[in-house]
Each structure stands twice: as structure tokens, then as C-alpha cells.
A and B are shown apart, each in its own frame.
Chain A
Amino acid sequence: MTNIQELQRISTQVRRDIIRMVTNAKSGHPGGSMSSADFLTALYFGVMKHDPATWTRSGKGQDVFILSAGHLTPVYYSLLSRAGYFPTEELATFRLYGTRLQGHPCVETGLPGIFQASGSLGQGLSAAAGLALGKKMDKEPEKVYVMMGDGECEEGQIWEAAMFAANQKLDNLIAMVDWNGQQIDGKVDDVAGLGDLEAKWKAFGWETITADGHDFTAILDAYAKAQEACGKGRPAVILFKSDMGHGVDFMAGTNEWHGKPTSPEQRDKALSQLEETLGDF
């Protein structure tokens, strides 16, 4: 049984990492990193079957995670390092010249834990579907997880992939949407009218689960439901309702911090609201 308090401690440290990384890099995407920090912490520390010691890019023998919303590298790199894929000290090199921690995920630098390059939105669900199909062809029991932003669901390719995964009965594929309602230009509903996201996924034939993306009990329950749905002929999606910038009062609930780093003063103010639980990098 996963300890919810432990997950809370990890995600608080992850939020500290996010703030410190983007301030250090003078660039990066803290807003969505903080809205997805809780359910991604749960994924890496309570849900996914994975082992940094035996990790290979092919994902053989392990669960796979694809970050389709590639700009969310602050939360991704923090989690990978906290999970043991590479030293936490390396987080200090985020976005700096010569780093393995490129602005968006890549495989060229050989950073352990990264399965595929991402950043150009809307493509990760297709790659995840390919990986899920490959696992099925090889009769591997492990699962493939993929995370998209809600704004990202404006990309047509997401729905090509949604149709494909359902038609192929990829019941080893679990997608998560960070449903924070914000994107660069404003509220998702104002910018593009995404409409009834639940109805859309259901209509595409997916097992559709909605959960509070900041309540660990609800998060773990949603993952459990998605896993129970596996092997029953359809892919599953969890729509995690979340707040952009969650965890720091002046960053929460606005799109202002989508792609803007905190200044040193703002960092200090933010860190005063986030307890150092695991030791800063």
C-alpha cells in the first residue's frame, strides 16, 4: 500500500525542484509542471512498474511513460532524478549549455529514463500507442502510460491516435490529461472551446475516468480503476482536474506561469511555502 504522506513529501520536494530549476535556468515551464506534479509523483512512486537500474529505452520488462506535453521537463526531470535515474545534482544543469537536461526531452543526450523526444505537441499519444502495440505483439504484460495537457488536446493528431488506440484495442495503454483549463493564450475554453472532454474521450471508445489531480487518495483510486480496465479491450484515460501553478499561492490558477520562470525573489517567496522534505539538489 502506497503511503500517501510519503507521496505528499515527494511531490512537495518536486515542486521545490521545479521552482529552483526554472529560476536557475531563467526559463522553463513551471505552471503545468506544478499542476501535474501530484499525479506524476504518484505514477513514478506508487503506480508504475519500473527500475532505473535495469532501464533500457526499449522498455522491455518495464512499464513505459511518455511525456507528450514535452515542455513539462521541470517536473519530469525532477521525478526521474528523485526516482534514481540520474543524480539530483544534475538538475542544476537544466537548460544550460552542454546539459543532458535539454529544454524539451530528447534521446540524443542519453539521459536515462527518456523513451522519446517530445515538445512538438500532440505526438506522444501516437508514440505511446506504438509502444503499447509493440508490447502486445511481443506478449509483454507491462503497460504504457502517456501524459498530455488539456490544451494539447486541441491537436488533431491526439484524436487520430485516440481513434487508432481504440480500434486496435490497446488495453495496455493508459493516458493522463492534465486538465488544468489553462494554456498560453488564456483559458482553454476561451482559446479553443475544447468542450466536453469526458464525452469526447468516451465517444472515441476509451474507458474514461475523472479525478481530482491534487488528492492522492483520488489519484491512486483513479490509477487503480484504469489498471482494472486493462485487458478488457479498450484503452483508458484519466482526466486529472488540476490547477496550474498548484502549491504556491501567487502562481496558482492562472496561465501567467505557463512558460515564465520565477525570479530569485519570487523563488524565495515560493520556497517559503514548500517544505524541503528530501533535500534540495
Chain B
Amino acid sequence: MKKYTDTGKKDTRSGFGAGLLEAGRKNPDIVALAADLVGSVKMDAFAKEFPERFVQCGIAEANMIGTAAGLAIAGKVPFVGSFAEFVTGRVYDQIRQEVAYGHTNVKIASSHAGITLGEDGATHQTMEDIALMRALPGMVVINPCDYNQCKAATLAIAEYNGPVYLRYGRPSMPNFTPEDQVFEIGKAITFNEGTDVTIFATGHLVWESLGAAEILEAEGVSAEVIDIATLKPLDVEAVVASARKTGAVVCAEEHNMCGGLGELIAGVLASHVPTPVEYINGGDRFGQSGTPAQLLKAYGMDAEHIAEAARKAISRK
């Protein structure tokens, strides 16, 4: 199989920060809003270079979403940033009315998502956010897999006109996708071609899925690994084609079992090409404190668990 090299661990949130700064240099209408977490959500470089285009909102996320909507109506391209829980669950109604139903060009930059947030524990380890954002009509939902992809995705959404939810994490993780990539919204990315099983993964679990494919290769199993970086709109054509080819599917995500990648893919396959599907996700549970590696293992999200899910899916063909 194709080998991917970790060029040095980096956090996806810093990919966002680098992308925001670059996008800000290109487009003077881009503004950024934070709620007292400027450094944590990596808006500090943008705030330093463009102080007149940076808005500190204080610990008041509801107002931040509405203010961003107002700025968008006035012609700006606002990026709001905070921890995933505080820019989804805490402000769901504000996003629904001011951003989604209001059709405002607001980009929601959602850091610290998923179980890999680690030591902060369950209050901050949002694993329900994708379900919430996917349910909003017109909302684009993107969950990049590494630093380089998160930077590229940030640049792409800056040029897209419409509401976007961009979800990423806090910990340093392998950085393995090309530095010069161009991110295409709504396009699945095939990292490894295979014939026996397809692993659809999103976010940090793409790297784990590539690890699973290596384990499976040693056993003579050919696993296709597809990165669903954009969950909405889903690349239905790519999903159906791969499932038709391999006949067995695993869905891997750092998210609750409800409303995430697994249910999304299973729903599409049920309509187009009924296929055995196994799920790697957080189940119907909250997270807990621990290191990212400990938690990925404990919640059954690491490469070993993904490989086991693939074997099971294949056995159900």
C-alpha cells in the first residue's frame, strides 16, 4: 500500500490559525471574532497582524454568533472561534437563526473537538457537534485530518460564500498530507486504494485508519482508506463507488454514534448499495480525562480496533 509519513506532529488548530492568517492577507473583508480564547483557538497571529479586523467578544458566545451574522450582512467574511462545545451546543439556536436560516456568510471555527482533547474531560470533549451542525439546512460541515489539510480547508472556506462549520482538534497529531494541497469542499479523498474493505474516516481517525490498513495488509487484506473531510455535502458518488467495489465498510470518527459519519454513510449505502457496515465511534457516551492515545484505545478508536472492525465487516459479506 501507499506509505504515508508523519512529517512531524502538529495540531490541527494551528493549521486553522495559519490558514486564517493567509486568507486574511488575501481578503481584506475577512474578520475574526473570539470569545476570550484567542491563543487557544490560534487566532493570535491574525489578531496581531490585523488588530482592526479582530473582535474580542469576551466570554459571551451567543452574542459573538449574532455579531458575526451582522458583520456578514454588512459584507464582511467573519470567522468565529472557540472550543467546539461553545460554538455548537451552547449557541445552537443562535447558529440556527442568525447563520443558517439567516443565510449569513459566517465561518464557525470549532477547536478542541472530540475525545482527543484529552485531559480536560467530558465537558469539553464534544462528540455531538457534527450531528448538530449536519442537521442545519445549508450548513457545510468539514472535519480535516491533519495540520496541512486544516490549513488548506480554512483557505477554501474563506473563498466559499455560505455558512461553514470547520471542526478540528487540540493535540499534536501526525501531519502527513501534502503541504501544497488544494482543498475541495465536498470531495472525498482516497488515501489508499483497496479491494476487500473500505474504511471511511474523518478527522484524526484518518491516520489511525491508515495504520489499520497496514495491519490488514500484513494479513493479506486490501483495505481502501477514504477521508471524508467534508461530511456535508457528502461525496455520495465516491462513497457508493467504493462500497460497490469492496462490499464491506467501516466508518471511523471521533464522534457520538448518533448523527455522525457512521449513520451518514450507512444511510447513503442503504439507499444505493446495501453493504455490511461496522462502526468506530464514541458510542452513546461522554468522554473522560486521559491522554489522547489512552482515550483512543479505551474508546476503541485506534488502528487495532479499526482493523478488527474491518475483519468483522468482511466476514459479514
Q: Which one of A59, A107, A125, A133 has the highest number of Cβ atoms from chain B below 10 Å of its Cβ?
A: A133
Give A122 to B72 CA distance when docked, in angstroms.
Answer: 19
A126–B98 contact, CB under 8 A?
A: yes
Chain A residues 98 to 127 lying within 8 A of chain B, measured CB to CB, are: 106-108, 115-120, 122-127
Supply 26 A–B pairs (Cβ within 8 Å), ascending by A: A58-B75, A59-B74, A106-B101, A108-B101, A115-B73, A116-B104, A117-B101, A118-B97, A120-B93, A120-B96, A120-B97, A123-B66, A124-B66, A125-B66, A126-B69, A127-B102, A129-B67, A130-B66, A130-B69, A131-B74, A133-B55, A134-B74, A135-B74, A138-B74, A161-B63, A164-B63
Q: Which residues of A contact B (CB under 8 A)?
A: 57-60, 66, 106-108, 115-120, 122-135, 137-138, 156-157, 160-161, 163-164, 167-168
With A129-B66, A129-B67, A133-B70 as given contacts, are A163 and B60 in contact (CB-CB < 8 Å)?
yes
- Residues of B close to A168: CB separation below 8 A: 55
Give A131 to B104 CA distance when docked, in angstroms.
Answer: 12
Distance in angstroms from B305 CB to nearest chain A CB is 41
Distance in angstroms from A221 CB to nearest chain B CB is 28
A58–B63 contact, CB under 8 A?
A: no
- Residues of B close to A125: CB separation below 8 A: 66
- Residues of A close to B55: CB separation below 8 A: 133, 168
With A123-B94, A126-B98 as given contacts, are A160 and B62 in contact (CB-CB < 8 Å)?
yes
Chain B: interface size category: 20 to 34
Give A168 to B68 CA distance when docked, in angstroms.
Answer: 14
A127–B60 contact, CB under 8 A?
A: no
Considering only CB atoms, which chain A residue lies closest to B66 in the complex?
A126
Q: Which one of A118, A130, A135, A160 has the highest number of Cβ atoms from chain B below 10 Å of its Cβ?
A: A130
A163–B70 contact, CB under 8 A?
A: no
A129–B74 contact, CB under 8 A?
A: no
A163–B58 contact, CB under 8 A?
A: yes
Q: Is B31 engaged at the interface, CB distance under 8 Å to the other chain? A: yes
B101–A127 contact, CB under 8 A?
A: no
Chain B residues 50 to 100 lying within 8 A of chain A, measured CB to CB, are: 52-53, 55, 57-58, 60, 62-76, 78, 93-94, 96-98
B93–A130 contact, CB under 8 A?
A: no
Q: Which residues of B contact A (CB under 8 A)?
A: 31, 52-53, 55, 57-58, 60, 62-76, 78, 93-94, 96-98, 101-104
With A108-B101, A117-B97 as given contacts, are A59 and B73 in contact (CB-CB < 8 Å)?
yes
- Residues of B close to A129: CB separation below 8 A: 63, 66-67, 70
Contact of A127 among B52, B67, B93, B103 (CB under 8 A): B67
Q: A106-B101, A160-B58 are in contact. List 7 more A-B contacts (CB 8 A).
A: A118-B97, A119-B97, A120-B96, A122-B62, A127-B102, A130-B69, A134-B70
Distance in angstroms from B74 CB to nearest chain A CB is 3
- Residues of A close to B63: CB separation below 8 A: 126, 129, 157, 160-161, 164
Give A107 to B74 CA distance when docked, in angstroms.
Answer: 14
With A116-B102, A126-B70, A127-B73 as given contacts, are A137 and B58 in contact (CB-CB < 8 Å)?
no
Distance in angstroms from A159 CB to nearest chain B CB is 9
- Residues of A close to B70: CB separation below 8 A: 66, 116, 126-134
B62–A117 contact, CB under 8 A?
A: no
- Residues of A close to B53: CB separation below 8 A: 137
With A127-B73, A131-B73, A134-B70 as given contacts, are A107 and B31 in contact (CB-CB < 8 Å)?
no
Give A123 to B93 CA distance when docked, in angstroms.
Answer: 9
Give A244 to B76 CA distance when docked, in angstroms.
Answer: 38
- Residues of A close to B67: CB separation below 8 A: 126-127, 129-130, 133, 161, 164
With A130-B68, A131-B73, A133-B71 as given contacts, are A167 and B58 in contact (CB-CB < 8 Å)?
yes
- Residues of A close to B64: CB separation below 8 A: 126
B66–A57 contact, CB under 8 A?
A: no
Distance in angstroms from B56 CB to nearest chain A CB is 9
With A130-B68, A164-B57 as given contacts, are A156 and B62 in contact (CB-CB < 8 Å)?
yes
Distance in angstroms from A63 CB to nearest chain B CB is 13
Considering only CB atoms, which chain A residue lies closest to B72 in the complex?
A130
B60–A137 contact, CB under 8 A?
A: no
- Residues of B close to A118: CB separation below 8 A: 97
